[in-house]
Amino acid sequence: MMDPRPAVGFYGPELIMIYNEPYIELLGDLHPCMGLSARDALAQVWNEYFEPIIERNLAGETVDNSHTELPLVRNGYLEETYFSTRFIPIFDSQGATIGHYEPVVETTKEVLLERRLGTLMELSQELPRARDSHAYWDHAVQVFSRNSKDVPSALFYSTDADISSQDSTGTGGTIDSQYQCKLRRSIGSTDHPFASIDRLDFRDSHGIIKIFKKAIVADLPLTVNLLEDPEAQDLAKALQPQGFYDECRIAVICPLHPPSSKETILGFMVFGLSPRRPYDKAYSHFVYEAARLASASLTSLILHEKDIGRREKAIDTAELIKTELRQQLAESQLEADRGHTKFQRFAERSNIGIFILNMDGVYSYRNEAWYSILCSHAEKIDIDLEQAWSALVDDEYIDQGQAMFEALAATKEPQSFELRLKNTWRVSSNSINDSLPEIQPKWVLCSIFPELSEEGEILEIIGCITEISQQKWGEQLQAIQATQAKESKKQLESFIDTTSHEMRNPLSAIVQCADSIISSHKVLKEFDCCDKNYQKILLTTLDSAETIVQCSKHMKTIVDDVLTISKLDSGLFAMTPIDVELKSTARDAVKMFEGEAKAAGVHLQFHIDGSCNQYGIDSVSLDPTRVLQILINLLTNAIKFTRLEAKREIVVVLSVSLERPTHNADGRVAYIPRSEGHEAKTLLADWELSENLFVRFSVQDTGTGMTEAQHHLLFTRFSQASPRTHIDYGGSGLGSSSRAA
């Protein structure tokens, strides 16, 4: 047979059996019976089950049977089994029935699952209907009695603990405090249980009590072998089964406890299991769920009984609380009235305008300050928000104010804004400025807040207005004064520029004349024709001429610095970058000072840092004139401060970096940060053509040095580290070098 299902065929008048391998499991102990007559092999069920079907097959009818109970001896005992079968007649060529073909499908699992689910559904529906413990146990017995095949016998216990004295979480009582359990109901053939199991005294520790104590501490319902456990003999006698009437071999003890506490025992359910089914996973799951439903319903019932007494007590308490609440409500209302009165007095006396506005634009409240700030006369005008815009607010600010109210409605968040009013005020005579008119418009600062409901909807808008006319007038006056000061500064700078330019020509003439005097002296010195007195006069004149040259050069340096700073401030300081060889430019600049350094006895050195070779920098785009100007300023300064020292050395180092440096090489000097406004906008496009490079010139000398406080003044315009610096060394500082860089 190729049928994968269990199948059997009966052939010929003797009904000889031929079956496939899957059918062997269904035969159980009847196998082997291949080739035997079915009447002999299946004699125990033939007359009751097979004979009527064979007769219908012989008449040519196919017979279907669903979920038919066919007990079979399997696994060493008679087992409750169910099958769905189809008996198909086999015909010969003349149409006579010569055999019978029966494919079989075992449906035991489906039948048991449906039956057990039905019992659990009945438990979940019937037990919650009980209103007292007697009705609860009656409902439990009725439900389990309707499933006598899964629950052929049962015992139901409850504790003797005082339910009304327990708290809500531990309803019954722990095993230490509940000393006895009483048998409430039973299912089975006997109506008179043995006295040994009618009441369980947990103060004992022998016999059946030990079994129940094991069940309390077990995680799952406890399985008891009634035939082999000597301590369970009384329990085996009490669990006489109903239904099959076979001897019960296995019992299960299920403690009943609240879902929140396994230590609190409410009772027990003891089930005698079906002797015709194995206690497998499905059977144990049914028992577990039945115990869980019973526990939950019993917990609810006990809490319900407790709740009745608690409710009666709560009614009396509620009446007392209601009386106290009435008194508190009256006091709260009085306090609220006092608070409202305080707010009313504050609002009326405040110099801040306060208003309340509903969502239709109608004012429900405005204090006196609102009228005095917004209205041009003492008469109170009764207008809504829409009318107030055109009547009170300057036309230029109406749209702005309306937009703020719309923003509040959309975002439900507070808004604050300024408004210029049509109403005016007169500036005090002591404060009048010729540049501003005496009559000024009023200004207010308006703040609005939404009052929201519990659902988050805007109920009304609360707002306040503060007059800021004086502040606005002061801002205008300050702006005018700032403009005037700026213009005055511009004129002063123009005057300084003009004066500086005018001073350069006379200074040049003075220098030239002094140089001429010095040159003439050198010529006269070649002729020894003068007497000593005349030579003394000439020497005095020569000394004065040299003094004039030094002072004139010093004044010219100051004038040049003034003009440089002026060009920087005016944006006229032109930068003309060209491609130059960086190392040669730096070397030439240093070479210019070799003679001056030698004359001052200063050892001048020039080094090229390894970064120049590392990045392979040969030529860069920069303004060599401005770079030379900065180096001249720095080197002149270094020679000036070094020439009087015992050790006279100056080291100039050239280095480059691809990132903007923040400190010098040894980290002791922090570079001054530059703002975006100092960037030459005309050079931005030029810089974007190639990669940016940062060139660093370091001039280090062995001069007097400076303190940290003096360091902060180093690059300030026309400032020096200390007043003593100017006295000892002269000069106008390095401010122009910083600005040029």
Residue 121 is part of a domain; what is its CATH number? 3.30.450.40
How far apart are the C-alpha atoms of 691 and 660, rounded to whole Å? 13
Q: Is the pLDDT of residue 483 over 80?
A: yes
Residue 350 CB neighbour total at 10 angstroms: 13
Res 165 pLDDT > 50: no
| Assigned domain for 338 exists | no
Q: Range of 375's domain? A: 350-467
Do residues 515 and 650 both lie within one domain? no
Six token digits for residue 735: 């401010």
Q: State the alpha helices, DSSP H only, in 576-671.
A: 582-591, 594-599, 610-614, 624-642
Kindly give the pairing relationship between strand 77-79 and strand 72-74. antiparallel
Strand-pair partners of 417: 446
Element (H, E) at 373: helix 368-374
If asked whether residues 527 and 610 sit together in one domain, one would say: no
The answer to whether residue 169 scores a pLDDT higher than 50 is: no
pLDDT value of residue 713: 60
Which of 229-233, 506-510, 556-560 shows the lowest mean pLDDT across its residues? 556-560
The pLDDT of residue 732 is above 70: no
- Mean pLDDT of all residues in 438-466: 90
Q: Are residues 439 and 581 in the same domain?
A: no
The three-state secondary structure class of 287 is helix
Antiparallel, parallel or unpaired: β 82-91 and 250-256: unpaired
Q: Is the preceding peptide bond at 255 cis, omega within 30 degrees of 0?
A: no
Q: Using only C-alpha atoms, what is the Rg of the chain? A: 57
> Which of the two residues, 376 and 317, has the higher pLDDT score?
317
At 287 the pLDDT is 93
pLDDT of 352 higher than 60: yes
Cβ-based burial of 379 (10 A; exposed 0-12, middle 13-18, buried ≥19): exposed
* Residues 160, 297 within the same domain: yes
Alpha helices for 412-531 (secondary structure H): 469-526
The string of DSSP codes covering 165-223 is GS-SSS-S-BTTT--EEEEEEEESS-SS--HHHHEEETT--STHHHHHHHHHH-SSPEE
Residues near 314 by beta carbon (within 8 Å), at least 6 away in sequence: none
Best mean pLDDT range from 503-507, 564-568, 615-619, 667-671:
615-619
d(CA 270, CA 215) in angstroms, rounded, equals 10
Distance CA 463, CA 606 (A): 73
Q: Tell me: do 26 and 142 sit in the same domain.
A: no
pLDDT at position 119, please?
A: 92
Query: Could you tell me if 199 and 267 lie in one domain?
Result: yes
**Angle formed by the axes of helices 281-349 and 133-145, to 10°?**
140
Q: Which of 417, 433, 467 is at the close of a domain?
A: 467
Number of domains in the chain: 5
Element (H, E) at 157: strand 153-159
- Could you tell me the pLDDT band of residue 33, with boundaries at 50, 70 and 90? confident
For residue 528, pLDDT beyond 90: no
How confident is residue 110, by pLDDT bands cut at 50, 70 and 90?
Answer: very high
627: tokens are: 């770079």
Q: What is the pLDDT of residues 552-604, one digit of tens each?
A: 766 777 777 676 766 666 665 667 788 888 888 888 878 877 878 888 888 98
Domain for residue 50, yes or no? yes
CB 459 within 8 A of CB 436: no
Dihedral of CA atoms 373, 376, 379, 383 in degrees, nearest 10, equals -80
* Residue 718 included in any domain: no
Query: Same structural domain for residues 203 and 177?
Result: yes
Residue 677: predicted pLDDT:
46
User: What's the mean per-residue pLDDT of the chain?
Assistant: 80
Last residue of a domain, one of 418, 434, 467: 467
Give the CATH number for residue 632: 3.30.565
Beta bridge partners of 100: 10, 89
687 and 656 housed in the same domain: yes
Given a contact cutoff of 8 angstroms between Cβ atoms, the answer to whether 729 and 703 are in contact is no
Is the domain of 544 the same as that of 593?
no
Domain boundary among 247, 280, 309: 309
Q: Same domain for 299 and 241?
A: yes
- The beta-carbon contacts of 520-526 under 8 Å, at least 24 apart in sequence, are 521/545
Q: Which position has the token pair 């030379």?
A: 628
pLDDT tens track for 485-497: 888 777 877 777 7
Cβ contact 255:268 at 8 Å: yes
* Predicted local distance difference test score (pLDDT) of residue 644: 84
H-helix or E-strand containing 535? Answer: helix 532-570
Poorest-pLDDT segment among 238-252, 258-272, 324-338, 594-608: 238-252
Q: Assess if residue 720 is contained within a domain.
A: no
pTM, to two decimals = 0.42
Q: 722 lies in a domain?
A: no
Taking only the tens place, the pLDDT of each residue in 401-438 is 999 999 999 999 999 999 998 888 888 765 556 667 87
Q: Examine the domain organization and report whether 242 and 145 are in the same domain.
A: yes
Q: Among 86-90, 107-111, 169-173, 206-210, which stretch is predicted with the lowest mean pLDDT? A: 169-173
The angle subtended at Cα 685 by Cα 684 and Cα 689, nearest 5°, is 115
- Rounded to the nearest 5°, which phi and psi values hold at 116? -70, -40
Is 597 contained in some domain? Answer: yes
Hey, what amino acid is at 49? Y
Give bridge partners of residue 268 from the DSSP assignment: 157, 255
Is the domain of 291 the same as that of 159? Answer: yes
* Average confidence (pLDDT) over 1-12: 82
- % of residues, the chain, pLDDT over 90: 13
Average pLDDT over residues 155-180: 57
Q: Which helix (H) or strand (E) holds 290?
A: helix 281-349
649-657 and 603-608: which strand pairing?
parallel
What is the reported pLDDT for 74?
A: 75
Domain contains 286: yes
Q: Is residue 603 part of a domain?
A: yes
How far separated are the first and last CA of the chain, in Å rounded? 105
Q: Where does the pLDDT of residue 314 fall: very low under 50, low under 70, confident under 90, or very high at 90 and above?
A: confident
More confident residue, 312 or 121: 121
CATH number at residue 36: 3.30.450.20
Q: Which residue has the higher pLDDT, 378 or 275?
A: 275
Q: How far apart are CA 536 and CA 539, in angstroms?
A: 5
* Residue 447 confidence (pLDDT): 93
Instruction: Residue 299: name the closest of 273, 267, 344 by CA.
Output: 267
